[in-house]
Amino acid sequence: MYSAVKVEGKRLYQLAREGIEVERKARTVEIYETEILQMDLDQPFPKIRFRARCSKGTYIRTLCTDIGRALGYPAVMSDLTRTGTGMLRKEDCLTLDEIAALASQGDLSPRLIPADQAIPHIPAWTVDAKMAVYALQGRSVQADITSDLQDGLYRLYGRVSADEEAERFLGIFRFDEERRLFAPEKVFN
């Protein structure tokens, strides 16, 4: 109940705070690996720390409850640290203080990950120069009629001018298969 999933337009955590409980649909997730880090069983409320590598959509709070249920004991999550998501790892992240310090020293730029590299799970597509200009203006752009694309999000690339050496990342666009158009979701200049 304490998730950001929406039910009839309202987030579950909002309903939970109001004391309202609604039935949630089961989700299929994958747990790729679990590792016990620490067990302290000699106390009235035993504690077990573990690491899980799992698919997106996994609620660790629910995983804890399910593990407890399987063992025949009530279980709750008391602490959670996300160590990675997709290609991003905790050790590659910076605190706000570290960002401020690096920025004041002029050393922040090498630590930044280009936006398109942070979302490699979104497929890429390249458009011609004319469409690239339109895309940067926040306009919808036509896809090549022969292209084999499906509805969904795409990272759009293109050369805006002939003197550019490589395609640049234009933004995140949603492709509409029926209309053969890429509509802007987020444009990067």
> Tens of pLDDT along 141-181?
988 777 788 899 999 999 988 788 889 999 999 999 889 99
- Domain boundaries defined on the chain: 6-81, 85-113, 116-187
pLDDT on residue 79:
93
Predicted confidence band at 189 (pLDDT cuts at 50, 70, 90)?
Answer: confident
In this structure, the chain runs to a length of: 189
Smallest Cα–Cα separation from 143: which of 100, 90, 181?
181
> Tens of pLDDT along 87-132?
889 998 999 999 999 999 999 999 999 999 989 889 999 999 999 9
Q: Which CATH class is domain 6-81?
A: alpha beta
Say if residues 176 and 183 touch (Cβ distance below 8 Å).
yes
Q: Which CATH class is domain 116-187?
A: mainly beta
pLDDT on residue 107:
95
pLDDT on residue 2:
67
Task: Compute the average pLDDT of residues 21-32.
Answer: 87
Smallest Cα–Cα separation from 132: which of 171, 165, 186?
171
Whole-model pTM: value is 0.62
Task: Compute the average pLDDT of residues 10-39.
Answer: 88
pLDDT on residue 35:
96
pLDDT on residue 21:
86
> Tens of pLDDT along 48-70?
999 999 998 888 988 999 999 99
Residues 6+ apart with CB under 8 A from 107: none
Predicted confidence band at 1 (pLDDT cuts at 50, 70, 90)?
Answer: low
| CA 187 – CA 173 distance, rounded (Å) | 8
| CA 7 – CA 1 distance, rounded (Å) | 10
